[in-house]
């Protein structure tokens, strides 16, 4: 976790005005020197002890430490990002991924995966497209169907927000049927392997039959949809096999060419940043393949899966910015926490720096109160 993110604690505090009491306290202390011939506490200490603390200015002074830290941290990040090399950024898109090589000030981008990947996955998504149209109109009660003990009742109610009484789904479903019909007419001209073409036809034909039956009846339910989706399960498997095959071949080709271009010396320090959304972040298709092309001793630290809520307009810039944070924190970890291996590793990794302290306090609140009391006693002393 970034050190800068841990340090941030607040903003926008007010300004200080010296209180009359603080001034009088200082004057009284000065008079005591002449009268008693002894040195009282300094004016600063007396002001802190005897007068109300000006909380806003005090807090603002403390927060300014982090404000300046963030400023210098950001400046360092910009500098580090400009010097990152070699780096491969993989932007996971519908075509198997846009790969960008950053090396010695140059950038090269390409889609290395055959278009078969996109074609196969596109047809395989037909059941998901139908589901997306129909889901709001489902009955929000969990049906008595096999394996539906895994279906969360609250999730179903949230998705089925319109209910089965409405027939507003018919028009968009027919429109999607037109899209599927066009694909079905053209699939023979797409230059697909015979088994892949056959599976695409099965999926498209089954989808069209389901649409025709449902729109003609003006109704559907979860069972009728699952009868359709279950009937094309094996053919979806065929499309997945083909997508995986061309994905592996394309990534192997580009990584082999780029390795030769970069050279073994620089390749040993290669970072790879794979950008994906949450639903594909775990065991991401590209990350699985790319592991074998990294230095075996560094693969766990140099293959970065960067999870995004939405894909940015400039994925390479975002990837390099995040990688710069990681790289500079790798060095900071050793220098900031030279006495604590666990905290150093937390700063270098994804674990929050506060995690150990929070876990410890949650496990034993009494111990935390004891520490707080001891700290307060030291402050008073």
DSSP string, 76-134: HHHHHHHT--SEEEEE--TTS-EEEEEETTEEEEE--S-THHHHHHHHHTHHHHHHHHH
Give, as one character, the DSSP assignment of residue 143: P
3-state secondary structure string across 296-307: CCCHHHHEEEEE
The answer to pTM > 0.85 is no
Q: How far apart are CA 358 and CA 281, in angstroms?
A: 27
Are 203 and 240 in contact, with CB atoms under 8 Å apart?
Answer: no
C-alpha distances out from residue 59 to 17, 46, 215, Å: 14, 20, 66
Write out the chain's pLDDT in tens, 381 residues: 554 444 443 343 333 333 322 322 333 333 333 333 444 545 454 445 545 568 899 999 999 999 999 999 999 999 999 999 999 999 999 999 999 999 999 999 999 999 999 999 999 999 999 999 999 999 999 998 887 889 999 999 999 999 999 999 999 999 999 999 999 999 999 999 999 999 999 999 999 999 999 999 999 999 999 999 999 999 999 999 999 999 999 999 999 999 999 999 999 999 999 998 887 777 889 999 999 999 889 999 999 999 988 888 999 999 999 999 999 999 999 999 999 998 898 888 888 888 888 888 898 866 656 666 766 777 666
- Please count the other Cβ atoms lying within 10 Å of the Cβ belonging to residue 304: 17
3-class SS of residue 308: strand
Q: How far apart are CA 119 and CA 164, in angstroms?
A: 33
3-state secondary structure string across 243-286: HHHHHHHHHHHHHHHHHHHHCHHHHCCCEEEEEEEHHHCCCCHH
Q: Which residues contact 342 (CB under 8 A, 6 or more apart)?
A: 356
């Amino acid at each position: 976790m970034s050190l800068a993110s841990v340090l941030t604690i607040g903003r926008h505090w007010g300004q200080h005005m010296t209180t009359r009491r603080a001034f009088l306290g200082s004057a009284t202390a000065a008079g005591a020197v002449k009268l008693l011939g002894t040195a009282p506490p300094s004016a600063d200490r007396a002001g802190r002890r005897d007068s109300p603390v000006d909380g806003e200015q005090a807090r603002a002074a403390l927060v300014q430490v982090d404000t300046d830290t963030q400023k210098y941290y950001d400046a360092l990040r910009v500098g580090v990002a400009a010097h990152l090399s070699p780096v491969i950024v993989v932007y996971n898109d519908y075509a198997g991924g846009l790969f960008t090589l950053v090396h010695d000030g140059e950038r090269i981008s390409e889609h290395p995966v055959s278009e078969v990947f996109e074609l196969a996955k596109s047809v395989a998504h037909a059941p998901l497209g139908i589901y997306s149209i129909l889901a709001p109109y489902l009955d929000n009660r969990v049906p008595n169907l096999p394996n539906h003990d895994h279906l969360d009742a609250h999730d179903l109610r949230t998705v089925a927000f319109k209910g089965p009484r409405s027939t507003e789904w018919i028009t968009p479903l027919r429109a999607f049927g037109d899209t599927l019909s066009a694909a079905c007419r053209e699939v023979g001209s797409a230059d697909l392997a015979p088994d892949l073409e056959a599976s695409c036809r099965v999926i498209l034909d089954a989808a069209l039959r389901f649409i025709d039956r449902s729109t003609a009846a003006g109704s559907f339910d979860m069972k009728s949809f699952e009868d359709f989706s279950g009937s094309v399960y094996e053919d979806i498997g065929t499309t997945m096999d083909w997508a995986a095959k061309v994905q592996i071949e394309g990534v192997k080709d580009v990584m082999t060419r780029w390795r030769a271009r970069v050279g073994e010396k620089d390749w040993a320090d290669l970072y790879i940043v794979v950008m994906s959304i949450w639903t594909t972040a775990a065991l991401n298709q590209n990350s699985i393949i790319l592991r074998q092309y990294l230095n075996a001793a560094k693969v766990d630290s140099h293959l970065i899966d960067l999870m995004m809520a939405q894909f940015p307009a400039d994925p390479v810039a975002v990837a390099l910015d995040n990688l710069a944070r990681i790289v500079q924190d790798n060095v900071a970890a050793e220098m900031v926490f030279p006495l604590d291996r666990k905290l150093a590793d937390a700063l270098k990794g994804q674990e929050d720096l506060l995690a150990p302290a929070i876990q410890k306090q949650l496990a034993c609140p009494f111990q935390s109160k004891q520490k707080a009391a001891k700290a307060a006693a030291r402050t008073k002393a």
